[in-house]
Amino acid sequence: MRVLVVEDDLMIGESLSEALQDEAYTVDWVKDGRQAILTLKVQPYDIILLDLGLPEVDGMGVLTAIRDAKIEIPVLILTARDQLKDRIAGLDSGADDYVVKPFELGEVFARMRVLIRRSQGKADNQVSVGNLSLDTAHKRVMMDGDPIDLTAKEYMLLTTFMLSPEKVMSKNALEDSLYGWGDEVESNAVEFLIHSLRKKVGQDRIKNVRGLGWYISNV
């Protein structure tokens, strides 16, 4: 899952981005509101973490631009503005949740999971496809009730497939879900990951549609 962090504080932005990557999210980080608006015109995200005190265009301006453009991405505000009127204004302007700095990362991650679940129409953190089950809160994958040992990128790839079973995904779409702007991507990285993942979940589980991409089968 891909996250856009909009934060001008370098220390917070860097530590938050690193923590999100450790949680198996793909992260892009921008430092002002104008860049955030431009980015959202060309790159889809699963969730946005938005500061309010931004240069160029403030967070409320970014939020207004997002909702005026009918972009339905969940938005979690992370800000030092702790007044009740600020929280009400943020939520009324289209934010899905509001967390005041300083915050605990565990709470931020939990709130992210809730918002992403809601956007996907899911009630909990459990996802099942055939004999595979995924717990997005604990980053745990089971097959026939037994745990599977996956690398971070294998977990991210399998999550992308399992959240949209039977949906064919192109190589570019899969790269977008796995790699942020600063990541180097080998030309055969996706193919290599699919090859290694098939060894663990079954050769016939992830299928290829020649010229279009791959999908995970419910059968």
112-144 confidence digits (pLDDT tens): 999 999 888 887 889 999 999 999 989 999 999
The helix/strand/coil state of 80 is coil
What domains does the chain contain, in order, with CATH numbers? 2-120 (3.40.50.2300), 126-216 (1.10.10.10)
Read off the pLDDT band of 181 (50, 70, 90): confident
pLDDT of residue 159: 94
pLDDT of residue 191: 94
Instruction: Record the tokens describing residue 153, joined without a space.
Output: 């990128």
Global pTM value: 0.86
Residue 196 has pLDDT above 80, yes or no: yes
pLDDT of residue 185: 81
Instruction: Record the tokens describing residue 27, joined without a space.
Output: 């992260």
